[in-house]
Each structure stands twice: as structure tokens, then as C-alpha cells.
Amino acid sequence: MNQISPIAPINVSAKESSYSVRWPLIAGHIVENFDNTLYGFFAVMLAPIFFPATSHAGQLLSSYGAFAAGFLARPLGAMIFGILGDKSGRKNSLLYSIGLVSIPTLTIGLLPSYETIGILAPIFLVLSRLAQGLFIGGEFSGVNIYLLETSSKHALGSKTGYLLASGVLGAILATAFGSIFTLEIMPQGSWRIPFLLGGISALFTYFFRRKISETETFLKEKTAKNTNHAPWKEVLTQHKSSCIISCLIAGFTIMPLYLTTIFGNRLFKEIGYNQSQSMSLNMITMLFDGVLVIYSGKLADQIGFKKHMLLGPILTAIAAIPAFYLILPSHTTTLTVYLFILILSITGTLINGCAMPYIGRLFPTRCRYTGVALSVTVGQALFGGTTPLVASYLTDLIGSRLAPAFWLMAYSLITAYAVFYANRHLRAEAKEH
């Protein structure tokens, strides 16, 4: 592995640490998660509206394919907005990402059906999803980098926790709006209203964010004329170790959540829960995560990010088998299902309170935005996004609900080793400087 990048000093503005770091960033994160969750909720309903009537299964597969397109475009968006953020400023990247995402979201809300415009309907729908993924690609990383560069280290974990909790709120709001506008009493086409609201909210957030200032850390780098370079080239050639470690951490941040929600829905169905009950369990999981990540961030501030980053994957590795043991056919009750969700939520959210700031410190300021955005989007897609598929495959292959526990345990230990490796080199760098 290459040498880990030294931790660049973070300059904090007192003014930035109060108003401008908080609400414009939180508002954008809520809108981002609201817009992205909407399509997932409406995918089944939109299938016959925008795709040709070959078969229901074919329509559904096409609609899910459009959903996946948004994730496939994220690494490209991460590269584009990462380069923009490293060369022209964090503020510009955050403004353009949230402003532009309003366009595809509004387009979906206004798009005529397949019956009206034919093959153009699915084409424009897929293009809109690609555009959503492209513009969202740099949003989450950019918000966390802005927090990193404008917050006191004593409150960084707490602010990160609240930011992530706000994202959960956005997903919950989208689910609530979806539930309301899919009721039988609602007029036909009322599903368009949440998409229109999401697009308009993104535009409002754009104007809200114009009040924020550029980070002092970036301005210092710009004054030293360290921004006129190719950040993507530096990331891929000089910071390979940081990229690999960041990808592993990013995948781990969402793996327990996907095991208790997306893959969890399969388990819940096998146990005997219907679709409505499974959705309720998903909502409970998100609420658990939203509350727990706040306390996780506060704990990270108290014990230090390096220790906290090790605590999360180690405890998850220890808890993996006991958690899945609770939902074996011979042991499953309503109580054990809730305990299964709670255990993976507690251990899984531990790392989230400080993961993004930790990843941000693995890259120097001049290529930080590109490094974080690219690593996080690739890691979440490659490792986190494949979690339901891998878990389902292993369950069928071994014929036991315990199978995913061994995968989670192995991945947790690999992540813990990667963090240990990074911590060791970061301590060495700190002594040298």
C-alpha cells in the first residue's frame, strides 16, 4: 500500500461554525435524501406509466433499472464535482450540485407517460435518473468536507451526527409523502406532487446556500497557489491507500442498514410479515439509525475519532452472529426481530458519527473533495450497494439465515484492519510534523 496522506491542518472560522455551516447544509442533505428516496418508493407505481406494456415483470425490471442508473452515475458526478470543489471552491460545488439536481427531479414530476409520448418517456426517465445521480454524486461528500473545514474538532462528530440524522429525516419525509399520495382516495397523477415539491425545495436550498462563505482552509490553499492542478490524477496516483481505506469504510457505513432493511425485507417475509409490516420495520430501523447516529457523533468527540473508528467495526464483528442467531426459524419472535434490528443499528451507526470527517482527513486539502467524493461513491456502490445481493446469495448457497453474519463479520474485521493501518501511519505523520 502507498503511504497514507498526512492530515492537513483545518482552519476554523467562528462565524462559519455557527449559522452558515449548519442549516444550509442540513437543508440540502434533507432535500438530497428526499429526492433520491422518492423514486425508490414510486418505482413499482411508475413502471406501467413510463415503460411499454410487455409484461408486469418486464416493466418492473425496467423501473428498477432506472433506479439503479442513479447510483451508477454517482462516481462520475463525484469526479466532476470533486474537481470543481478542489479547483474553484467548496461553495461553488455545493451550490451547483443542489441547484442542478432540481432539474431532473422536476422533469420526473412533469414527464408525460409512455401512452402520451411513446418511447421518449422511458428515455427521459432514465436520463433524469442519471442526472439525479450525477448531481447528487458530489453533494454528500461536499457537505461533510465543508463541515470538516469549518468546525472545531471538539464538535465535529456531533455536527456530523446531526447532519446524517437530517438525511434520515429526508428519507422518512419521502416515505410519508409517498404513503399519502398513493392512497386510493388521491386523484390520478397525484404522485407527481412530491417530485415537484422536491425539485422546488432544491431550488430554494440553492438560494439558501448562497449565504455561506468559502472555507478558510480552501482559501489558504488557493492563496498558496496549490489549487491549479489535476486533483483526480493526484488522488489516483499518489493516494491509493487512502482511496482503498476510504472505499472500505464507506461500504461499511451502510452495510448493517441494508442488511436490516433491503435484505431484511426478505427475512421479514420469510418470518411471516406482510409488505406493510415490513415497511413499518424499515421505518423503525431508520428512526433507530437517525437517533443513534447523533449519540455516535457525540461519543466520537469524547473518545477521539481514531478510537471510535475502530470501535464500530470491532463491535459489529462481535455482534454479527448473535444478531442473526435471533432470527433463526427456531428462535424468531416479535421481540427477537426488534432485537435483531436494534443490535445491528447500534453497532452499525457507531462508525457513522465520524466516518466522513475521518475519510476527509486522509486526503490533503488540494485534492480532498475529489478523493472523498470518488472513494465514498465507489465504496458505497461496490461494497454497500451489493450487500443485499451478496447476503441473499450466501443465504441460498448455505441454506441458513446465519450466512450473512459471517460476511458481515469478515468485512467488519477487514475494515477494522484498514482503520488500524491508517491510524498507525497517521500517528507517524503527526510525529514527523
d(C-alpha 205, C-alpha 28), whole Å: 6
Q: Is 121 left (phi over 0), alpha (psi -120 to 50) or beta?
A: alpha
The cell 447476503 sits on which residue?
Answer: 391
37 plus 143 within the same structural domain? yes
* pLDDT value of position 22: 67
* pLDDT value of position 16: 44
CATH number at residue 422: 1.20.1250.20
Does the global pTM surpass 0.95? no
Give the number of domains in the chain.
2
19 plus 99 within the same structural domain? yes
* pLDDT value of position 12: 47
Number of H helices, E strands in the chain: 21, 0
233 plus 222 within the same structural domain? no
pLDDT tens digits, one per residue of 150-174: 887 788 888 888 888 888 888 888 8
Q: How far is CA 315 from CA 24, 180, 318, 349, in A?
A: 34, 39, 5, 11
Last residue of a domain, one of 227, 255, 290: 227
Closest CA relative to residue 48, chosen from 35, 62, 33, 66: 62
Asked if the structure places residue 6 within a domain, the reply is no
CB 283 within 8 A of CB 172: yes
166 plus 235 within the same structural domain? no
195 plus 251 within the same structural domain? no
Asked if the structure places residue 3 within a domain, the reply is no
Closest CA relative to residue 356, chosen from 300, 276, 295: 300
142 plus 167 within the same structural domain? yes
370 plus 278 within the same structural domain? yes
167 plus 65 within the same structural domain? yes
* pLDDT value of position 170: 87
122 plus 264 within the same structural domain? no
218 plus 235 within the same structural domain? no
Closest CA relative to residue 98, chosen from 26, 37, 148, 169: 26
312 plus 389 within the same structural domain? yes
CB 255 within 8 A of CB 385: no
Q: How far is CA 344 from CA 248, 281, 321, 340, 378, in A?
A: 18, 13, 11, 6, 23
d(C-alpha 62, C-alpha 201), whole Å: 28
Asked if the structure places residue 356 within a domain, the reply is yes
d(C-alpha 189, C-alpha 203), whole Å: 23
pLDDT tens digits, one per residue of 227-265: 657 788 888 888 999 999 999 999 999 899 888 887 887
Instruction: Name the residue range of residue 80's domain.
Output: 12-227
Helix ranges (DSSP H) in 137-189: 139-150, 156-181
Local structure of residue 3 (DSSP, 8 states): P
Asked if the structure places residue 271 within a domain, the reply is yes
Dihedral of the CA atoms 364, 369, 370, 375 (nearest 10)?
90
* pLDDT value of position 407: 95
159 plus 106 within the same structural domain? yes
* pLDDT value of position 15: 45
Residues of the chain with pLDDT under 70: 1-22, 40-41, 44, 54-61, 63-64, 67, 225-228, 275-276, 426-433
